[in-house]
Each structure stands twice: as C-alpha cells, then as structure tokens.
Structure 1
C-alpha cells in the first residue's frame, strides 16, 4: 500500500474509531495495513479485527507476479502469511489492539453479529471474492460508519488484478446506503448514510 493511501486509511480509521465500534479489515496478508488499523484502534480505545485465511490471494500464488516464495510453508507447500503477520504486529507493539480471525471472509461474516465502525475491503480481487466480502460485511457497518475499498481502478488500463473492487465501489454507491467522502489514489472511503444494501 502506498504511503498516501496508508495515511488516508489511518485517517478514516481514526474517524470511524470515534463511533466506539470495532474496525475490521478483510485481507490481511502480512499486516502492513493491519498495523495502521491497530494503531488507530489503540488511539480510539476500540479494537481492530482482521479476517484472512492467510493462504494468499490469486495474484500471490506461485507463478504470479506478486508471489513471495518465503511465505510458503515448507512442510505443506502452501502459502502461510500468519507467522509473518504476527511478527509484524509484535514488532509494531500492537498485538493487544488487534484480533486476528483466521478463516474465509464469507464464513466469518455469516457468524458475525455486532455492528462495526469501519470495514476495509482488501481481500481477493475476483468478482466472486470482492462481492462476497461486500455482501458479508457491509450490512454490519453502523450508521455513520465507513466502508473503505482498496484497489479501485476505474480505467482498465491502470489496474493490475482486475476491476472487481471498482465494481464493488460502484455497487455500494448505487445501493443508496453509502456516500463517498474521500478518494486517495486507488483507496475510496464511503460513509453509511442509508439502510438499503
């Protein structure tokens, strides 16, 4: 995540933290954005949550441009970013301000029952995964809470992994439940202002 987008995410998380509700991230990878949410949660007196299966997104698998062989568990031959994520939190001194939910986003969303102040969507970039993240978590955003979507690329020539986040962004706006409040490069911040999702 570029610095400008990281600062915009941090600012949104601080704002949402004023609602006194948890901040949730979908798509943790190794924890760069999670430390921003955890620090904002610390400053706001709330908790941050991350949801990820830690097996990597499509573009992070072997043979793809964003694959990092160091994230592969040598015993089972699959990616496992959870140890790196935990080290990232430890080094940042933020372990007590974040809860890692290890599992697939739609499965965790089905059992989630509490309102959220912020949902940051940065998981899988296929239409199937991006829509499942939106459908699973957007209904949990409290009135006045924020939906933050990463990798929104309106121009197909600018994108690197598909335009699913852009289509989810358009879907959220078309629902009438969200109003855009900020845009920083590929990061969009929307406030929940209505009921229909």
Structure 2
C-alpha cells in the first residue's frame, strides 16, 4: 500500500529519493518505542516530512538539526545553489523559512523540534538516548566525521543509524558518507542492514 503523506513530497526542495524516504518512514516507525529520532541536515524538510510523519503516527518526536546556511555545494557558484534560498540581506543561504513552511503545511509542529545550530554545537551537551539517527549533513570529510562523532554514540541498542549518499564506487559520488558508514561498521557497535538506493542503514548492537 503506497505511503500517504500530508503534503505533496514533490513540492519540497531536496535530494532524497522516494524509496529512501519511505524507508526512513518505516525505520522511524519501527524504533518509536526505543526513543526519539534525530536527523542531521533537514534543508527544506523532505526527509523531515517522512521522519516526522512516522513520529507523529507513533506519538514520538523528531529533532531536526541544521544550521540552515547550506552545505558546501549549496553556496553561490556551486552546483546545488538555489537562488530562492539565498538571503540577500544577510548574504547567506537560509533554508529555515522553507522548513517551517513544510512543518506547518504538514501539521508537524507538535512532533518536530527544529534545532537551528551546527551539528557539533547542538551535540555539545546532548544526553538524550535516541532510537534513530539519520545523517545527511555536509558531505565534506570533516563535516561527515563530525556528524558521526557527535551523534552515533547516542543511538540505543536496537536503534538505527542511517546515512544518506553512500557511494562505494568513487566514480558515482563523494566518499565522506561512505567513510563514516565504514567507520560505524568497523567499530563493532553496528551491524549493516541492506542498503536502499544510496541510504546506508545500520542497527546498533
């Protein structure tokens, strides 16, 4: 049975494939009893819609962490720059208004807590155990490693660590997300589950 979302997913800017989004929804529903969900890299809310809708259905909470100034590839002159998300007054990218619009349109404001902050700062005093962490922040090696270091340790036993844009072949895409997927697997703390498109999935032992 096709997944029904509260708003048209194609109306939300983002780079998440449908099969990846539906898998995130299913995973978030599966871990609802283990603890809240946290995503790194909300952008305009495409993944937030999937994860937040699953959390709402199961009376859970999604923490949506993003500084909303765009990753490296979103900056002016870069491949994925979107002029509609550029705040000319500040001279900076700003996707937060689009995220808020997504949450309001989907009636998710009671289940999604936006955390407008760089990942490492948001994690500095974090103590809440998490049923699931989805990492889709900056794709530089430094950013990806920081996201992993900041959040993977908070996933509870039986919980899920999901990482977007896994490309084992360097010819297909950047290697930073794949490197932290391998780091998680090599840690012995996680076991790999089948990958869906470019969505790497691991379960905490």
User: What's the TM-score, normalizing by structure 1?
Assistant: 0.94
Does residue 163 (structure 1) correspond to residue 178 (structure 2)? The answer is no
Deviation of 1:76 (Å): 0.9
- The Cα shift of 1:18 comes to 2.8
1:183 and 2:195 correspond: yes
Cα distance between partner residues in 2 of 1:106 and 1:67 = 24
Q: CA deviation at 1:182?
A: 2.6
CA 1:33–1:102 in 2, change beyond 3 Å: closer, same or farther? same
1:123-145: CA deviations, max 9, x gaps?
00011000000000011111111
Counterpart in the other structure of 1:65 = 79
After TM superposition, the runs of 4+ consecutive aligned structure 1 residues lying more than 3 A away are none
Number of residues of Structure 1 aligned to a counterpart in Structure 2: 190
Q: Which residue of structure 2 aligns with residue 54 of structure 1?
A: 68
The 1-side partners of 2:93 and 2:108 are apart by 24
CA distance in 1, matches of 2:106, 2:172: 32
More helix by share: 1
TM-score (norm 2): 0.91
What secondary structure, in the 3-state scheme, does the structure 2 residue paired with 1:107 have? helix
Partner of 1:130: 144
Q: State the alpha-carbon separation in 2 of the partners of residues 46 and 88 from structure 1.
A: 18
Give 1:74 deviation, angstroms: 2.1
State the partner residue of 2:119.
105
Please report the RMSD computed on the Cα atoms of aligned residues, expressed in angstroms.
0.8
Q: Deviations along 1:81-134, whole A, 9 cap, x unmatched?
A: 000110011111111110000101011111111100000000000110000000
Instruction: Write the distance in 1 (CA, Å) between the matches of 2:30 and 2:136.
Output: 19
Matches within 5 A, 1:80-159: 80-159=94-173
